[in-house]
């Protein structure tokens, strides 16, 4: 990230590509040219979501955010969010708010990702959550996300007025102080958007191999499954020929 990427340039905007946002989720789409998205941490089941959490999502988009929605998991949930953000170069800030989720720790995980990135095993470096692995999106998208956005940290806070002020500060033309950060609209991220989608290589990250021995065992299992599949397919073709 260069200093030029973070100077006020509110007039530089680009239209998001066709297919934006590429991933579905529990979010609301707002102003595509806005420099900010709002992420509301979700620690409840869908049928138990408090009205206050839904209000924070509405406040985000009503205040001018490009996207405003909830985030529940530290792996696939973050992958989906990254896909949607890097598809819109205008988004330069991510306001993270709401009560931290026990176990998933998505607020802490997001901050660790922004600060440290991924290890060779696709684990978010420094994350304290149980399964902070990003297997299903290109590393290019992860690194673009880290270069493109800055996090506005409101973890464990849920005052709608505070979220509104954070969003407002992000789209100011001149540098504006907010909770110890200097916020302003730097314009769109230089470069082409990345319109990536989850590949679903790993649907259950908690079952992913934790070391080389487990990885080798998993590969042997996949090879065995492939041999069984091929044998069954050959048997099926033989039976069809006999008929």
What's the pLDDT at 201? 56
Give the separation between CA 64 and CA 82, rounded to whole angstroms: 20
Residue 213 pLDDT greater than 90, yes or no:
no
CATH topology of domain 3-183: Rossmann fold (3.40.50)
Q: Which residues contact 168 (CB under 8 A, 6 or more apart)?
A: 63, 64
Average pLDDT, the chain: 89
Closest CA to 88 of 183, 9, 187, 4: 187
Residue 217 is encoded by which pair of tokens? 């065992």
CB burial readout 138-156, b (16+ within 10 A) else e: eeebbebbbebbbbbbbbe
Span 73-82, pLDDT tens digits: 999 999 999 9
**Residue 131, CA distances (Å) to 107, 148, 181, 204 in order:** 14, 24, 30, 10
The C-alpha R_g of the chain, in whole angstroms, comes to 21
Pairing of strands 176-178, 181-183: antiparallel
Residue 46 pLDDT greater than 90, yes or no:
no
What burial class does residue 51 get, using C-beta atoms within 10 Å of its C-beta: 0-12 exposed, 13-18 middle, 19+ buried?
exposed
Band the pLDDT of 176: cuts 50, 70, 90. very high
Average pLDDT in the 192-215 region?
Answer: 67
Residue 235 pLDDT greater than 70, yes or no:
yes
**Residue ranges of domains in the chain:** 3-183, 209-242
Apex 100 CA angle, 108 and 204, nearest 5: 70
Average pLDDT in the 139-168 region?
Answer: 97
Span 58-109, pLDDT tens digits: 999 999 999 999 999 999 999 999 999 999 999 999 999 999 999 999 999 9
Band the pLDDT of 47: cuts 50, 70, 90. confident
């Amino acid at each position: 990230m260069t200093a030029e990427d973070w100077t006020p340039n509110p007039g530089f905007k680009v239209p998001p590509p066709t297919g934006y946002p590429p991933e579905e989720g529990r979010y609301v789409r707002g102003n595509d040219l806005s420099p900010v998205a709002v992420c509301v941490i979700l620690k409840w089941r869908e049928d138990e979501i408090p009205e206050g959490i839904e209000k924070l999502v509405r406040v985000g988009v009503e205040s001018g955010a490009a996207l405003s929605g909830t985030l529940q998991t530290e792996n696939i949930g973050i992958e989906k969010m990254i896909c949607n953000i890097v598809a819109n170069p205008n988004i330069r800030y991510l306001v993270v708010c709401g009560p931290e989720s026990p176990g998933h720790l998505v607020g802490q995980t997001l901050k660790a990702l922004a600060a440290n990135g991924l290890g060779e095993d696709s684990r978010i470096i420094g994350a304290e959550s149980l399964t902070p692995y990003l297997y299903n999106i290109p590393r290019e998208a992860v690194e673009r996300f880290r270069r493109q956005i800055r996090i506005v940290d409101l973890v464990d806070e849920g005052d709608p007025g505070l979220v509104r002020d954070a969003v407002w500060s992000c789209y100011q033309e001149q540098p504006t102080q907010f909770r110890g950060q200097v916020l302003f609209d730097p314009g769109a991220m230089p470069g082409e958007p990345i319109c990536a989608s989850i590949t679903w290589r790993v649907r259950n990250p908690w079952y992913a191999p934790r070391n080389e021995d487990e990885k080798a065992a998993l590969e042997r299992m996949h090879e065995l499954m492939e041999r069984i599949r091929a044998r069954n397919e050959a048997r099926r073709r033989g039976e069809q020929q006999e008929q």
